[in-house]
Amino acid sequence: MTPSSAYFRLNLQWYWVLVLAVAVGCSSRSDSSSQKKAESAPAEKAATDAKPSVAPATASKSPAVDEPKAAAPAKPFKLGDLIQPFTPPPLAEIDKTAGWIDNPVLSGMEIMRKKQESLGPPPVSIATALSLRNDSPENNAKILGTLSRLAPADGASVDYEATLVRHTSGDLKSSNPLLQSSITEAEFQGLTSTGLLTFDQDMRDFASNDSVLSWQTSKDHLMDKFVLRDDLTWSDGKPITAHDVMFSFQVIMTEAVPILAVRTGTDQIKWVQAYDDRTVVIFHKEALATNRANMNFPVIPKHVYEKSIADDPTMARSEYHTRLEDHPIVGGAYELVSRVRNQEFVVQRRESYYMHNGKQVRAKPYFKQVRVKVIEDFNTALLALKAGQIDQMELRAEQWSDQTNGDDYYQRNTKVTGPEWTEFHFTWNLKSPIFQDKRVRQAMSWAFDYDELLKKILHGLYQPCRGTYHPDAWYFPKNGPQPYHQDLDKAENLLDEAGWIDSDGDGIRDKEINGRRVPFEFTLLTYQTETGIQAATLLKECLQKIGITCNVKPTEFTVLVDSQQKRQFDAAMGGWGVGTDPDQTSNLYATGESRNSSSYSNKRVDELFKQGRREFDRDKRAAIYGEIHNILWEDQPLTWLFYRNSFYGFNKSVRGYNFSPKGPFDYSPGFDSVFKAAAAP
């Protein structure tokens, strides 16, 4: 199973953390700020934080794990107690009636290779690409079009002994794939863990031929059958089997286990049955187009956890699980060999991943080691990139524009950019009597100075936003809206219509609500960063011109998240990245959903989300989600501001990076295609 983190649902919760931290200039994604999930309970705390660091390992084989010792359970434990009783029929009976439809089992690398072959030769030579300054779209196309090319299929130009040093701004809190709750953890799991499904650069899903022999769906869309390869092993040498998949589902669906993210979607599965070591059938509660995404849950080794989890359902507090945290048994291409808390973790290529019984069965991963360094401050990280201490980092807008143009940067590095399907916005709390009227929310959007934000604060690097879906997405409406622009007259007219007028001549609009006169005054939560404060202050200045008082409150990220979870805010700055399916936005906008922090509710939108899940025709689905998009734009529960781009700096030795709507790594092949050249160009 490839090291690509596309196996793991970098879902909207995690992706929100990433895009906010980088695009608005957040200098830290540490455990005290944006490493926390956007809309879930906090991750495990003292039990994880207090663990000792791991000494550097000298061998690639995972250390043995002692037998588990009992720890007092926090609550009565019953494996899979959230699953409704179900008795799966015999496989032979299923095969007779299922009418199996074959699904794609592919190689993400081969998909990308064929795509690149269709493009013809690179636009310039490698030497020319490395000599260029990325100061124009034309040069960006030349640099990316050349350095993005894959290594030859035989790996002739790859330095297989190389170490890649990556940057992250937050520590690895848990190495257990079921407990992941941050971007760093999702990236770690992408390197080390196993799964069934992935998706390509164009967001089309498939099963990887590195792990799966066949994937079939029943004609009624209520079952999926996977046949696993027989050459998959855990890092302790035990085989990876269908029983591990079944066990993992049961653990996820156990109430006593504090699953932070992966239960969402997985809870729509009815049952998972291993019929033998290689054959697993997933039974769905309903025939839904979203069932594929629901099956994309991480897999843990049954033989490692089945005796310990009842005594410690947290999988984090007991001595046994603490040792597993530092020496996890993994099934991916790399395994953990060193971990220094709040400094770095190191993974090493696992020979038993690509070799089996003396024969190479999968592509050899390109790096001997991947070292992930924790540098909370992005300015410090950029200095490390310039000094050659790290090989890659995501750049903030101001770093791209102002701090990566000189010889001190280009001596060792280059930089590239590509579009992402990621939007930023102001969230209005519709529970507040101020923002319940959509005319008021529309007035907020007409009042804002987008030119000032985009051209000055964001250095002209981002595009104005046209709503929750990106214009390049297949589900963006054909009659999609155009971006707002500042029109203070329209804003004032809408406020007048909504009854917000200056009745006492003090320069501040007011309105009678529940028998008392209320001034139009609210607090906007934003990040403790220069860019976040600038954007919020700009809104404040715009609203002052039309008689509204906006109090800007820079807020620690965890406090901002908690305030939105509890709906204890007036307005807040935020952002969302794309999921693999448009239905994933239902937890943002459907009535009563936990991540619907604006408390938005529209019966037509709720109905359309239900229709979209049950429609399998892609064109018809696109029309459904397009209508949702247009309704949201009309209702303006958010004021959408801009779409961001990916901005990355790479050491000149690094090759093979390509961008997707999720950035350069989080799809297939994604990180798998990145390599270091064997010799200088």
Examine the domain organization and report whether 609 and 665 are in the same domain: no
Is 454 within the bounds of a domain? yes
The rounded distance, in Å, linking the Cα atoms of 551 and 530 is: 16
Kindly state whether residues 391 and 501 are assigned to the same domain. no
Instruction: Tally DSSP H helices, then E strands, for the chain.
Output: 24, 25
Instruction: For residues 583 and 672, state if they share a domain.
Output: no
In a domain, 144, yes or no: yes
My answer on whether 501 and 452 are in the same domain is yes
Residues 160 and 309 in one domain: yes
CATH number of the domain bearing residue 536: 3.10.105.10
Determine the Cα–Cα distance for residues 285 and 526; give it in Å rounded to an integer: 40
Query: CA dihedral in degrees (563, 566, 567, 573; nearest 10)?
Result: 30
Is there a contact between 337 and 56 (Cβ–Cβ < 8 Å)? Answer: yes
CATH of the domain at 319: 3.40.190.10
Based on the fold, state whether residues 428 and 401 are members of the same structural domain.
Answer: no
List of residues 6+ apart from 149 with CB closer than 8 A:
116, 122, 655, 656
For residues 134 and 416, what is the distance between their CA atoms, to the nearest angstrom?
Answer: 7
SS3 string, 368-408, reads: CEEEEEECCCHHHHHHHHHCCCCCEEECCHHHHHHHCCCHH
Residues forming a β-bridge with 165: 371
Over the chain (681 residues), the average pLDDT of each successive run of 10 is: 40 39 38 32 29 31 44 72 97 98 98 97 98 97 98 95 96 93 88 93 95 98 98 98 98 92 90 98 97 94 97 95 96 97 96 97 98 95 98 94 97 96 96 97 98 94 95 95 98 98 96 95 92 95 98 90 91 89 93 92 98 96 98 98 95 97 94 90 49
Are 184 and 127 within one domain? yes
What is the helix (H) or strand (E) element at residue 102, kind and residue range?
strand 101-102
Using DSSP's 3-state secondary structure scheme, residue 583 falls into helix
Rounded-to-integer distance, Cα 426 and Cα 573, Å: 4
H or E element in which residue 191 lies:
helix 183-192
Count structural domains, the chain.
2
| Residues paired with 372 in a beta bridge | 166, 345
The span from the first CA to the last CA of the chain, in angstroms, equals: 32
Residues 318 and 355 in one domain: yes
Q: Is residue 36 part of a domain?
A: yes
Q: What residue numbers bound the domain in which 617 lies?
A: 419-645
Whole-number Cα distances in Å, 642 to 511, 576, 627: 31, 11, 21
Say if residue 127 is in the same domain as residue 209.
yes
177 within domain boundaries: yes
Which amino acid does the sequence have at 632? L
Q: 314 with 258: CB under 8 angstroms?
A: yes
Task: Return the pLDDT at 174.
Answer: 94
Helix (H, G, I), strand (E, B) or coil at 133: coil
Please state, in angstroms and rounded to a whole number, the distance separating the CA atoms of residues 54 and 76: 32
Q: 121 and 28, same structural domain? A: yes
Q: E strand or H helix at 46, and its extent?
A: helix 46-49
- 379 with 486, same domain? no
Q: Return the pLDDT at 35.
A: 32
In a domain, 681, yes or no: no
Say if residue 471 is preceded by a cis peptide, omega within 30 of 0.
Answer: no
pLDDT tens figures, 501-535? 999 999 999 999 999 999 999 999 998 888 889 99
Q: Is residue 504 one of the residues assigned to a domain? A: yes
Long-range contacts made by residues 437-442, C-beta under 8 angstroms, separation at least 24?
A: 437/498, 438/634, 438/635, 438/636, 439/494, 439/495, 439/497, 439/498, 440/494, 440/495, 440/498, 440/500, 441/635, 441/636, 441/637, 441/639, 442/494, 442/636
Same domain assignment for residues 394 and 513: no
